[in-house]
Structure 1
Amino acid sequence: MTEIPVVDMSLYRMDTVREEEVDTEAIQSVGNAICWAFRNLGFCYIKNHGMQQSLIHKMFAMSKTFFEMPIEYKNNYRRQPFTNSLAGWIPRYTESLNPERPGDYKEAFNYTPVDGTEMLPDLEDFEITIKDFRASCHTLSLRILDLMSVGLDLEDKSFLRKCHAYFGQKGNSSVLKTIFYPALPLDEGIKPNQLRCGEHSDYGSLTLLFQDDAGGLEVANFDGEYIPANPIPGTILINIGDLMQRWTSDKLIATKHRVVIPEEELRKRMNRQSIAFFIQPDDEVIIRSLDKSDKYKPIQSLQYLLDRLGRTY
Structure 2
Amino acid sequence: MLKTKSSDDKLDTLLSRSAVPIIDLAHCGIEEIPVKSVVNRVGHQLAKALSEKGMAMLVNHGISDEKLKTAWDHLDDFVVLEADVKKHYIRTDGDNHGYVSPGVERFNGKVPELRHAFNICTLNAQNLPEEPLPGFADHISTLATDFKALGSFILQALAVSLDIPHTFFLEKHSHMLSGDHDNMTTLRMLYYPPVVDDEPGHSQDDVIKGRCQYSYQRCLSDQPDFRPEHNPRDDINEVDGVQTNGKDGQISEHKLANGEIIRCGAHVDYGTFTLLAQDSEGGLEVKLPGSEKWHRVGHLPGAIFINCGEILSIWTKERYPALEHRVVIPEQEHIRARGRHSIAFFCHPDNITMISPNDLPQTDDGQNSAILKQRKKSFKAAKERVYNAYQLIQKKFKETYTNNNNGQ
Asked if these proteins are the same fold (TM beyond 0.5), I'd say yes
Alignment partner, residue 111 of structure 2: 102
Secondary structure of the corresponding residue to residue 140 of structure 1: helix
Preserved contact between residue 9 and residue 49 of structure 1 (Cα < 8 Å): yes
Note closer, same or farther for the CA distance 1:299–1:285 as it changes in structure 2 (3 Å cut): same
Matched, 1:22 2:22: no
Q: 1:220 aligns with which of 270, 275, 287?
A: 287
CA distance in 2: counterparts of 1:78 and 1:172, whole angstroms:
19
Instruction: Return the letter of the residue paired with 2:266.
Output: E
Deviation at 1:159, TM superposition (A): 0.6
**Highest Rg: 1 or 2?**
2
Moved over 6 A (4+): 292-296
Alignment partner, residue 133 of structure 2: 123
CA distance in 2: counterparts of 1:263 and 1:207, whole angstroms:
26
Q: After superposition, what is the alpha-carbon deviation per residue over 1:237-272, rounded to whole angstroms, capped at 9, x for unaligned?
A: 111111110111111011111111122233232111
Alignment partner, residue 248 of structure 1: 316
CA distance in 1: counterparts of 2:272 and 2:34, whole angstroms:
26
Alignment partner, residue 356 of structure 2: 288
Equivalence map 1:121-270=2 (5 Å): 121=130, 122-154=132-164, 156-170=165-179, 171-185=182-196, 186-187=202-203, 188=206, 189=255, 191=258, 194-221=261-288, 222-270=290-338
- Paired residue total: 305
Q: TM-score, normalised by structure 1?
A: 0.89
Instruction: Return the letter of the residue paired with 1:106.
Output: R
Matched, 1:60 2:60: no
Alignment partner, residue 391 of structure 2: 303
Secondary structure of the corresponding residue to residue 113 of structure 1: coil
Alignment partner, residue 97 of structure 2: 87
Preserved contact between residue 13 and residue 50 of structure 1 (Cα < 8 Å): no
Deviation at 1:28, TM superposition (A): 2.1
Preserved contact between residue 214 and residue 270 of structure 1 (Cα < 8 Å): no
CA distance in 2: counterparts of 1:110 and 1:26, whole angstroms:
31
CA distance in 1: counterparts of 2:336 and 2:49, whole angstroms:
32
Query: Gaps (5+ residues) in structure 1?
Result: none
Note closer, same or farther for the CA distance 1:130–1:50 as it changes in structure 2 (3 Å cut): same
Preserved contact between residue 199 and residue 257 of structure 1 (Cα < 8 Å): yes
Alignment partner, residue 226 of structure 2: none
Q: Which stretch has the larger CA shift, 234-243 or 168-177?
A: 168-177
CA distance in 1: counterparts of 2:262 and 2:125, whole angstroms:
35
Secondary structure of the corresponding residue to residue 10 of structure 1: coil
Q: After superposition, what is the alpha-carbon deviation per residue over 1:167-208, rounded to whole angstroms, capped at 9, x for unaligned?
A: 222411211111111112534355455421100110001111
Deviation at 1:116, TM superposition (A): 5.2
CA distance in 2: counterparts of 1:182 and 1:74, whole angstroms:
18
State percent identity of aligned pairs: 27
Alignment partner, residue 113 of structure 1: 122
CA distance in 2: counterparts of 1:286 and 1:120, whole angstroms:
34
Secondary structure of the corresponding residue to residue 55 of structure 1: helix
Q: After superposition, what is the alpha-carbon deviation per residue over 1:82-129, rounded to whole angstroms, capped at 9, x for unaligned?
A: x21011111111001121x40112121111116554242521211111
Q: TM-score, normalised by structure 2?
A: 0.70
RMSD: 2.2
Query: Gaps (5+ residues) in structure 2?
Result: 1-13, 197-201, 207-254, 363-369, 371-376, 402-408
CA distance in 1: counterparts of 2:281 and 2:78, whole angstroms:
19
CA distance in 2: counterparts of 1:67 and 1:181, whole angstroms:
11
Matched, 1:50 2:117: no
Secondary structure of the corresponding residue to residue 20 of structure 1: coil
CA distance in 1: counterparts of 2:284 and 2:111, whole angstroms:
18
Secondary structure of the corresponding residue to residue 57 of structure 2: strand
